Structure 1
Amino acid sequence: MTGSERPNVFAGPYVDRLDPPRRDPAAVARALAGPAARIVPVWRSRNLLVGGTGPAACLLPWDEQLLAVVDPAELILLGTFRDQVVFAAELAGESPPALRAQAEFVDLRLTGGALEHDEAGVLAYARAMVSWRRRHRYCGSCGTPTRAEQAGHVMACADERCGAQWFPRLDPAVIVLVTDGERALLGRQPSWPEGRYSTLAGFVEPGESLEDAVRREVLEETGVRTGRARYHSSQPWPFPSSLMLGFVAEAATREIRLGDDELEDARWFTRGEIASGAVSLPTPHSVSFRLISDWYDTGATRPLAEEPGVRLWTLRR
Structure 2
Amino acid sequence: MLSIPASRVNVYTGSPIDRVSNRRDDADFLAAALTDPAALFAPVWRSRSLMRGVEAGTPEAVFLSPAAADAVRMAGGPWALLGLWGGRPVFAVDCSAAEDPLPLLPPDLGAFTDLRGVAGLLPAGEASVLAHARGLMHWRTRHRFCGVCGATCEPRNAGNAMTCTGCGAQHFPRTDPAVIMLVVHGDRCLLGHSQRFPNVTMYSTLAGFVEPGESLEEAVRREVHEESGITVGAVRYHSSQPWPFPASIMLGFYGEGLSDEITIDPEELRDARWFTRAELRDPVAGGFSLPRVDSIARRLIEDWLEHA
Q: Same fold (TM over 0.5)?
A: yes
Q: Distance in 2 between matches of 1:191 and 1:123?
A: 25
Cα distance in structure 2, aligned partners of 1:205 and 1:61: 42
Give the 3-state SS of the residue equivalent to 1:284 in structure 2.
coil
In the alignment, the residues of structure 2 paired with residue 53 and residue 168 of structure 1 have an alpha-carbon distance, to the nearest angstrom, of: 33
Among 270, 274, 286, the residue aligned to 2:295: 286
- Name the CA shift for 1:271/1:97 in 2 (closer, same or farther; >3 Å): same
* Cross-structure match for 2:64: 60
The match for 2:256 is 250
Q: Do 1:25 and 1:150's aligned partners in 2 also have CA atoms closer than 8 Å?
A: no
Question: For 2:121, which of 114, 139, 142 is the aligned residue?
Answer: 114
For residue 53 of structure 1, report the CA deviation from its aligned partner.
6.8
1:103 lines up with 2:110 in the alignment: yes
Which among 32, 48, 60 is matched to residue 46 of structure 1? 48
Between stretches 193-202 and 218-227, larger displacement belongs to 193-202
Q: 1-side partners of 2:201 and 2:130: how far apart?
A: 31
2:187 aligned residue: 182
Match of 1:297 in 2: 306
Q: Offset of 1:191 from its aligned partner?
A: 4.2
Change (3 A) 1:17 1:147: same
The 5 Å alignment of 1:21-170 reads 21-51=23-53, 54-63=58-67, 65-71=68-74, 74-91=78-95, 92-98=97-103, 99=105, 100-159=107-166, 162-170=167-175
Confirm or deny: 8 A CA contact 2:235 2:255 kept in the other structure: yes
| TM-score (norm: length of structure 2) | 0.92
Matches of 1:95 and 1:181, distance apart in 2: 54
- Which digits, 9 at most, give the CA deviation of each residue in 1:133-189, with x for residues without a partner? 111100111111110011001100012xx1101001100000010011311100002
Aligned to 1:269: 275
Q: Encode CA deviations 1:207-236: one digit per residue, 9 max, x unaligned.
A: 100000000000000000011000000000
Q: Quote how far apart the aligned CAs of 1:260 are.
A: 5.5
Find the partner of 1:7 among 5, 9, 14: 9
Percent same amino acid at aligned positions? 49
Code of the aligned partner of 1:268: W
Q: Any gaps of 5 or more consecutive residues in structure 2?
A: none
Task: Extract unaligned runs of 5+ from structure 1.
Answer: 300-317
Equivalents in 2 of 1:172, 1:23: separation in Å?
Answer: 28
- RMSD between aligned residues: 1.7
AA in 1 matched with 2:155: A
Show CA shifts across 1:4-39 (max 9, x none).
162210011411001111111221011111122111
Instruction: Calculate the TM-score normalised by the size of structure 1.
Output: 0.89
The count of residues paired between Structure 1 and Structure 2 equals 295
| Range 202-211 or range 19-28, more displaced | 19-28
Q: In structure 2, what residue type is equivalent to 1:298?
A: H
CA distance in 2, matches of 1:273, 1:4: 22
| 1:206 corresponding residue in structure 2 | 212
Partner secondary structure for residue 281 of structure 1: coil
Assess, with a 3 A threshold, how the Cα gap between structure 1 residues 73 and 274 changes in structure 2: closer, same or farther. closer
Secondary structure in 2 matching 1:143: coil
Render the CA deviation track for 1:52-93: whole Å, top value 9, x for unaligned. 671111011100x43232148832000011332100000022
- Per the alignment, do residues 82 and 69 of structure 1 end up closer, same or farther by CA in structure 2, a change over 3 Å counting? same
CA contact (8 A) 2:72 2:101 kept: no
Which amino acid is 1:282 matched to?
A: P
- Measured in 2, the distance between the counterparts of 1:152 and 1:13 equals 19
- Give the 3 Å change call, closer, same or farther, for CA 73–108 of structure 1 in structure 2: closer
